[in-house]
Structure 1
Amino acid sequence: MVNTRPRTKKTRNQSGALIASNDDLLIEILLRLPLTSVLRFKSVSKNWSSLLSRQPFTLLYKNVSISPGFYVRNMYIPFDVENQIALPICNLDIHPHPCSIRIVQSCNGLLLCCSKHGIQGERKYSVLNPTTRQIALIPSVLGGRKVHKNIRFMGLAFHQTECVDYKVVCFHRAKPDEDMFRIQIYSSETRRWKISDESFSFSAPYYESLGSGVYWNQALYWAPFSINPLYFKIDTEELQSLSFPVEVAVESLGDSPHGAMPLYFGGSRGHLHLVLKANRSETHLHLNVYEMLNDRSGWFVKYRVDLDELLNSYPEISTCFYEFQLLDVVRGEEEDETFMVIRIPGNNIIRYDVANKSGKQIYDLSSFIDGPINHAEVHRYIETIVSV
């Protein structure tokens, strides 16, 4: 005979306890919840917090690749002003020194930040997750103040599957008056710096940094472009030469006006992009978006983008073309969801959808920022629940 008696409170409690004690079953349930619920459930217990912060949950969670917006000089701007995804942190006030902080690099949901405080304004670095509101302070590099004041590059390497323990890579001059650079690597797994056997020569003024970093395919790339561009492979700790499309003349990587000057260099959804102006005309906005092959053997044209139609909606571009800036190329989950983030004269930010060839203003920065925006000041925000 089938038992048709209703379940008692005791029975329901036993069922709930059974689910809560079964990590595999619990993961299957929580994977189906929105990000805000997952973050809230972290406070249920220490076990739940640990479960939701470590693998395999962080690798399986489906919402980790959403890119709802970007930061410009620490100010958050959503990509879609009509359907904004709630951002747990729109400024960086959780940092112990929020007034002096600046974002150095964004890497798959984590931010590498820098602040000046302490003795003679010594720079302090940290890794921040805006989604979980967590921050990890990075200890000073090996070698003390003598090495610290010669730092010219700090880059962050992180990926959910290929670099799950984030790393911070430091390039510093061996001596203040030399072009030889040494490399140090910090690992979140060991919480320590180590000195790499690799070193390289790079001619740059003593006061100039090597620009911001771009992590892609287990390697860290940096700008500005040089006559002998390199990238650093994280897994093998090796420096390799980086090739460019033939349209990028060697002279254009220095101060010469010849050749096609890159407008953008960055990654999105596992793709590395380089954007060039397709012609030298000041009155036409024809761009070639190159994508690097996964084996790094070369580039191919992924998109040919004609932005001339923007001139009809935003005629100020034609009179101040030199103020046109391509800030970001964002690949969508589907091929027809790719878009560009563009700054036009007047500091208006435009989202241009590549497939339907339409643009719309998403933000007016005129009251906040005066003049051009440095590419090193633009950092994409991606939701991720990993702990730092």
Structure 2
Amino acid sequence: MIGSSKRKTAAAMPSRSEATKKTAEVLPSNKRKKAVISSACAPLFPDDMILEVLLRLPVKSILRFRSVCRSWAAMLPSKDFCSLHMATSKMMPPAPKLLVLSPASTFGSVAVYACSPSSPVDDLLFTFDCARRNSVEMVMPSPCCGLTLLYDAAAPAYYVCNAATRAITRLPPHRVPTYDSSAGLGFDAGTREYKVVRLINGVFGEKETIRCDVCTPGADRWRPATGGVPFKWSQFANSAVHHAAVNKIPPVFANGCLHWLINPSLIIRRPRAAIVSFSVAEETFGCVRSPPFWGPREHLGSLSQSEGEHLVVMDDQLCIVRDLRNGIPHGGTLEIWGLLDYGSGDWSLNHRIDLFGQVKRELADPRVVRVIGNVGNCKLGKKIVIATSKHLVHDKFQKKVYSYDPSRQVLEGILSVTETHTSLMLFVPGSRFSLLEESLALVHKTHEDLAFKNVLKKLRLHLIQR
């Protein structure tokens, strides 16, 4: 009896194919595919399971899936989904992936590529126009919540781009500094808003010895920071900006703040702070206490030391990298110190990379060695990403990027390029590449939008002249 009742019930219910045919007959042709997908997926998978699948998809697939149905079109671009997707991607990190700038075949354009250890530099993401092909550089070697800050020195102009979504926006014109300046990209987790922050040193005799300007992608102008730079921090801030500009030491973003490294050789007494911080949300300044090894005696008369120490974010922790090679051909080390607590200013030695064996051959010889970040963790296989620059001959520099496995002490090459520069100050390893991070973060305007607006502006001027 039980078996017969099941057969009757099954016979009374239409099959999935029959239901799909009836739905297709009723709906217009342009909505048939969406209805079929929705009717097929809804009874089989709960919403939580569908969400878990979507969170594990690459950005390229998510962009296509926005056209599946109205609910996905509303959910996938939302800020909540973007935050969840970024958190999920960090839990399952892939191999290190780089974002690489290279002159495009078209004159006056720059091509943006993706590169990884398993594939050559042939994955073209997008191109955009600029004044000069070699004038664009990466401001920061690691992305900020998926976005990358670029700078065109010829324009001059700043760009914010999301390489995963192929979106890029140009920031409003900024005042050209008369002296040193340094910029960084930060993220306000409360408002979910990105901000580009510029510190600008004034010249002798100016009213303000240092200024701070802020711009949000999508805004029409730069504005002064809400709090300004307090006088008590002005000496540290001036030193940090000069250090960033001269030695190409960019700020890093961690724990809601942008951080600039102070050059202690510019301060007579041992500085009580090593880092100047800027809260992106509150727009206020502060300082981070110096680690025990910090002091001016190590740096005086040693350009390589001031070049070698730099900031990096690893495992969401602010770190200082010490380059202790000191020109010694038979060894040396790279030390990575992590900040344990902002209040107490306690630091701990997280990693020591001994320059022996294969690591010695690749890292002991280059003039500049920079740690630019990491992927993975102790459980998933941590890899430290290291960039180097070596002066070959005349104006040629060889730049390489490696991934280093601290547990196995193995170095693996990712990228090797030879660049031509007329200035020795452009030996910076990360000026043409940075880490690539999958993200759905919006940049508000695409480069195509800007190009379309430029066309409209030219058309208006042409009509006015007629």
TM-score bucket of the superposed structures, by smaller chain: 0.7 to 0.9
CA deviation after TM superposition for structure 1 residue 30, in Å:
2.4
CA deviation after TM superposition for structure 1 residue 155, in Å:
1.2
Deviations 1:269-294 (A, max 9, x none): 41222122457570213222111125
Deviations 1:242-299 (A, max 9, x none): 2232223233456557989744421134122212245757021322211112536221
- State whether residues 152 and 173 of structure 1, in contact with CA within 8 Å, keep that contact through their aligned partners in structure 2: yes
- State whether residues 172 and 183 of structure 1, in contact with CA within 8 Å, keep that contact through their aligned partners in structure 2: yes
Partners of 2:219 and 2:280 lie apart in 1 by 15
Q: Given the alignment of the two structures, is residue 337 of structure 1 paired with residue 382 of structure 2, yes or no?
A: yes
Query: Is there any run of 5+ residues in structure 2 with no aligned partner, and where?
Result: 25-31, 103-111, 393-397, 444-466
Match of 1:186 among 206, 212, 215: 215
Give the superposed CA RMSD: 4.0
Paired residue for 2:370?
Answer: 326
Counterpart of 2:89 in 1: which secondary structure? coil
- State whether residues 128 and 134 of structure 1, in contact with CA within 8 Å, keep that contact through their aligned partners in structure 2: yes
- State whether residues 181 and 201 of structure 2, in contact with CA within 8 Å, keep that contact through their aligned partners in structure 1: yes
Match of 1:108 among 110, 134, 145: 145
Partners of 2:192 and 2:228 lie apart in 1 by 23
Q: How does 1:105-184 map to 2 (within 5 A)?
A: 105=140, 106-116=143-153, 122-141=155-174, 145=175, 152-158=181-187, 161=189, 164-173=192-201, 177-178=205-206, 180-184=209-213
Partners of 1:322 and 1:102 lie apart in 2 by 21
Paired residue for 2:55?
Answer: 31
Amino acid at match of 1:136: T
Amino acid at match of 1:187: T
Q: Given the alignment of the two structures, is residue 292 of structure 1 paired with residue 339 of structure 2, yes or no?
A: yes
Match of 1:3 among 3, 7, 10: 10
Counterpart of 2:376 in 1: which secondary structure? coil
CA shift in 2, pair 1:82/1:379, >3 Å: closer
Query: Is there any run of 5+ residues in structure 1 with no aligned partner, and where?
Result: none
- State whether residues 251 and 258 of structure 1, in contact with CA within 8 Å, keep that contact through their aligned partners in structure 2: no
Partners of 1:237 and 1:292 lie apart in 2 by 22
Counterpart of 2:173 in 1: which secondary structure? coil
Deviations 1:53-103 (A, max 9, x none): 22211111123674632346557563x4226899561xx513566734322
Q: How many residues align?
A: 369
- State whether residues 387 and 429 of structure 2, in contact with CA within 8 Å, keep that contact through their aligned partners in structure 1: no
- State whether residues 290 and 301 of structure 1, in contact with CA within 8 Å, keep that contact through their aligned partners in structure 2: yes
Deviations 1:156-213 (A, max 9, x none): 0037x56731111122345675471121222347665432232234157799568422
- State whether residues 291 and 302 of structure 1, in contact with CA within 8 Å, keep that contact through their aligned partners in structure 2: yes
Amino acid at match of 1:379: S
Match of 1:222 among 242, 260, 281: 260
Q: Given the alignment of the two structures, is residue 198 of structure 1 paired with residue 207 of structure 2, yes or no?
A: no
Partners of 2:389 and 2:201 lie apart in 1 by 37
CA shift in 2, pair 1:30/1:243, >3 Å: same
CA shift in 2, pair 1:344/1:180, >3 Å: closer
Counterpart of 1:235 in 2: which secondary structure? coil
- State whether residues 338 and 355 of structure 1, in contact with CA within 8 Å, keep that contact through their aligned partners in structure 2: no
Amino acid at match of 1:328: I
Asked which structure has the greater CA Rg, the reply is: 2
Normalising by structure 1, we get a TM-score of 0.77
Partners of 2:131 and 2:66 lie apart in 1 by 26
CA deviation after TM superposition for structure 1 residue 381, in Å:
1.6
Structure with the higher fraction of residues in helix conformation: 2
Amino acid at match of 1:292: L
CA shift in 2, pair 1:169/1:190, >3 Å: same
Identity of aligned residues (%): 20
Amino acid at match of 1:337: K
CA shift in 2, pair 1:280/1:17, >3 Å: closer
